[in-house]
Chains A and B, each alone.
Chain A
Amino acid sequence: MKLARAVVVLALFASVAAADGDRTPENVKMRFVERGTELTTSVKIQKLFDATTYQALSSGFPSTIVINTFVYPRDEKDPIAAHQLVRSVVYDLWDEVYVIRLDANAKPIKVKYQSEALKLLTSVDDMPIARLADLPYEDVFYLQMTVLLNPVDKKTLAEVQRWLSQGTGGGLDRGGVFFGSFVSVFVHPKIDDADNVVELRSQPFFRPKP
């Protein structure tokens, strides 16, 4: 179980690290609350939408927000916990309402106004970030949050890349498949990871002894 968790943490960390580049996280004040066996956080995500992306909310195309959280012990570089939250919104062009899912498994919420949709999408309320068992008392941690607006759909990108670099893969085109695969190793298109990426870093926190 621990191994599986470690693998998930590493995979998330690797994907975010790849998209991270050399962004400097913005320090923000976050609220931490113990809920049952987990520690949760609440924070307002600022500067995620600009005028274009805000306007695009009413376009009728879906927008996605991926929130990745990592809990680090102070002065260490390896996270001890990682979580991911995927939010989506789409404007229903017939009913003229914003249909929002705050979590992949959550029920959709419909709101009439764009500002309401924005508020819901950028508010993180009681998001679980770590198991309490993983946070010893008095140890100091901090939370790093990476928020991606409309991240590149890796599947779509891989599909397009495959479509371009490989042939049909049959008959006389077998050599083409091999060559295409070989070439694709050296093809590095300049495609942004997302429409926008926001990095947030919490204040240090610890669990006081009861």
Chain B
Amino acid sequence: MKRRGPRFALQWRVTFALVVIVLIPFALSYVLLDQIGRSAANYKANEARESVAAMEKSLDAYRDLFETTKRLHADIADRLAHRPQLIALDPKTDLGAILDEEVAAQSHLRGLALLREDGTVVLEAEHPLDAHQQQRLRDKVVDQPLGNGGSLRLTFAVSATLQDEYQNLNKMIEKLKYSTQIRNALPDGYRVTFLVTTALASIIVAFLGIVMSRRIITRRVDALVATARRVSDGHVDARVELPGRDEMAELGGAFNTMLDDLAQTRSQIEYLQRMGAWEDVARRLAHEIKNPLTPIQLAVQQTVSSYKGDDARYKKQLSDMKEIVEEEIAGLRRLVDTFRTLGQLPKVEKAPIALADLVEELRLDPRFAQKLVTKPPAEPVTVRADKLLLKRVLVNLVENGLQAGEEAGSSGEVVVAWRTDTRGDAVTITVDDRGKGVAEENRDKIFEPYVTTKATGTGLGLAIARKIAIEHGGELSVSPDKAATGGARFVITLPLRGPDASLG
């Protein structure tokens, strides 16, 4: 068998097809993902930019709060520094009252001190912080010169956490900026992730494609090709085993069936060729033998009748001779008749026949009337066949069966059954006897002409029967298993469909 192209071409084609099938939706998804990623990133980036802008305004608000508070403190300090009793560093000044005034004015002033030029304290007043205030407030000291060398020290209570909050807000802004930068990089990350995933998926799919195409297709195709090669090399018994329940397994089954059919057809052709040769020989022999028989018989009869003597002994010898010769001539005539039968088998003329009717006709033969058992199927079966020839086959088989039974010492009963196969393609007729069966080594030989296992057989009956079956597109064989009756089982198969169909 000539190879066309590399052996793995199919495998790679399947793999390539699988990868392409995977890649097309992946490519479309990639474009889509890219667009979605960009849109989402832009949307989120705009959102983050707006948040950052809002938070930066909050930072400005914090800064304004610091500046305003400090300006307020400076204003309070400046205002108090203009009080005459403070400028005079008067020790009788009621600092507590001034402090109370400022506290009442919500100035957050909690301490006042008058300091001389050398920094020593002249007077001081303070509102101490309670425990709760100490946790959230801290002091902010403002030294205000009084113009006389002395100074006024003002202690304000300010928020201890304000700068931390301000810094935390800035940290949040930084985080948002980072997140924006990362978000901007996310679409690229998604793209790379997608490509990596796609590449991995493609590699996996390609690998699976190689493995599966090898497992499912190419390995079995190889097996099929190898079997075909073996058959073409002369190994006609080679068969392929394709596991599975798919089309490939079905193809393997069909391939094997085709090989079986080919083998059977080949066997049948060879058989028919052998039969043809035998028929030719039989015709010649019949002609050559039959012609001299009558003159021989007449000559012997004339010889015997022409003796008029009294020699009783010689007379007896002549009579014995005549008897022997006539007996042998009768035997030869029978042989010649059989030869003629083989050589003059009529052409098959098919017509629809109800098998049940055909088998029932056998009962009309007094030899079979009491000893034939039939087992018809539930549904009647009609075949297209030559009624006379098919009947001849059945008669031959039933006769043989009865003889085999008698030789085996049994009642000689023969069972004829028939049924169609499950698909209705063929009908199988079985003829079971109660004989000793057919030895394995004789199963093929018994269908050859002039081969017989019987003492009085001519060896042509089964050969003719098989020829008739083959000419009907069927087959006659002997089953390797013994029949239910204990003897041999002969099986006639006739097609019901196809070119050789027996069914009209």
Contact = CB atoms under 8 A, between A and B. Distances in A.
A189 B166 contact: no
Nearest to B179: A160
A89 to B, nearest CB: 13
Contacts of B190: 183
A156 B158 CA distance: 30
Given A93-B66, A156-B171, A187 B163 contact: no
Interface string B166-184: 1100110011001101111
Contacts of A27: none
Interface of chain B: mostly helix, strand, loop or mixed? helix
A63 to B, nearest CB: 11
A161 interface: yes
Interface in B171-219: 171, 174-175, 178-179, 181-186, 188-190, 192-193, 196
Interface in A41-95: 60-62, 90, 92-95
B163 A183 contact: no
A182 B140 CA distance: 52
A92 B163 contact: yes
Nearest to B195: A186
Interface string A178-202: 0000111111111100000000000
A94 B179 CA distance: 32
A93 B166 contact: yes
A182 B185 contact: no
Contact of B178 (A157, A182, A185): A157
A113 interface: no
Given A94-B163, A160-B179, A164-B183, A183 B193 contact: yes
A187 B166 contact: no
Contacts of A61: 166-167, 170
A191 B170 contact: no
Contacts of B158: 94
A156 B138 contact: no
Contact of B186 (A92, A95, A96, A164): A164
A39 B283 CA distance: 131
B189 A186 contact: yes
A60 B140 CA distance: 16
Contacts of A190: 181, 184-185
Contacts of B63: 60
Interface of A: 60-62, 90, 92-96, 156-157, 159-161, 163-165, 182-191
